[in-house]
Amino acid sequence: MWMRKLERSDLTTIKAKKGWLKMHLILFGPPGAGKGTQAERIAKKMGIPHISTGDMFREAAAKKTELGFKVKEYMDKGELVPDDIVVRVVEERLKQSDCEKGFLLDGFPRTVFQAEVLDRILERLNRKVDAVINLEVGEEEIIRRLSNRRVCRVCGAVYHLIFNPPKVQGRCDKCGGELYQRDDDREEAIKRRLKVYLEQTKPLIEYYRKKGILVDVDGNKSIGEVEKSIEQILKEIKD
Ligand code: AP5
Ligand code: MG
Ligand code: ZN
């Protein structure tokens, strides 16, 4: 069953089925695992919003809003933004009408506290997290991915100089925006982010495994292969 070749059209067919909407998914994994890359693809196919707390904070920092000033210092150092700030931002975002269709969370929750708050928010809405997709990637590969990552300053699209290069050097394929290297993709900040992940975020794997909704995915494979594995899992969840 797992080995069956998955056709690209499968998701479109599933999407049309009743109940496909309203999926509440979490894409989980260490820094650089490919959460953003996969979330963008999967959310687009499923027609649900891709909610990345990291993207929201970077946007606020770029716009120099009050929130942006507060979070930038933590992000640049590779530390977690304090729970109270994160939870307020997510709660606000989940109230927006597009989330009625379901959502795909990327980079949230990152602490047990955040996971518990999410459960409470969903409970109030009579909903629950349907699945947590855990992208497993080795540390060497993470460093290879993060040190060559480039991000579009305008639309946030993610590239890799070797594994997923833009067609024109330094320019976004989608909008022509300038590509830049994230401030937290420096060696020192990468090391800190990995440590913070192990100490504060990895315990969530057990939190969700106990609930029986965690699915492990080998994230070391190519972008296309990982995408196929995720599609297969989502299909099985609905079948
Ligand atoms: P966030 O933006 O969430 O960063 P992160 O978790 O460190 O994850 P990344 O975005 O670095 O990696 P990714 O898994 O999305 O990988 P990507 O797809 O880009 O958070 C940043 C900061 O914000 C945090 O440190 C914290 O300060 C703060 N923050 C955010 N949320 C928070 C929260 N809930 N609580 C507290 N603080 C919070 O891929 C990486 C690279 O690899 C790319 O170049 C990509 O092209 C390439 N790639 C992807 N997949 C593959 C593949 N299969 N093969 C080869 N290359 C690949
Ligand atoms: Mg990301
Ligand atoms: Zn762009």
Q: pLDDT tens, 7-34?
A: 444 444 444 444 556 899 999 999 999 9
DSSP-derived 3-state class of residue 31: coil
Sheet holding 131-136, edge to edge: 50-52, 102-106, 23-28, 131-136, 214-218
Atom of ligand 1 at shortest distance to CA of 29? 14
Q: What are residue 149's DSSP bridge partners?
A: 160
Q: Is the CB of 197 under 6 A from ligand 1?
A: no
Per-residue model confidence (pLDDT) at position 138: 95
Per-residue model confidence (pLDDT) at position 21: 63
Atom of ligand 1 at shortest distance to CA of 106? 3
Query: Active site includes 110?
Result: yes
Residues 6+ apart with CB under 8 A from 48: 21, 23, 25, 101, 102, 103, 104
Mean pLDDT of the chain: 91
The mean pLDDT value for 206-211 works out to 96
* Residue 35 and residue 137 in contact, taking contact as beta carbons nearer than 8 Å: no
The whole-model pTM stands at 0.92
Percent of the chain with pLDDT over 90: 86
Indicate the DSSP class of residue 164: B
Which one is the CATH code of 8-48+101-238: 3.40.50.450, 3.40.190.150, 1.10.10.60, 3.40.50.300?
3.40.50.300
Using alpha carbons, list the distances in angstroms from residue 123 to 102, 129, 172, 231.
14, 10, 40, 26
Per-residue model confidence (pLDDT) at position 236: 86
Which is catalytic among the residues 77, 127, 144, 182? Answer: 182
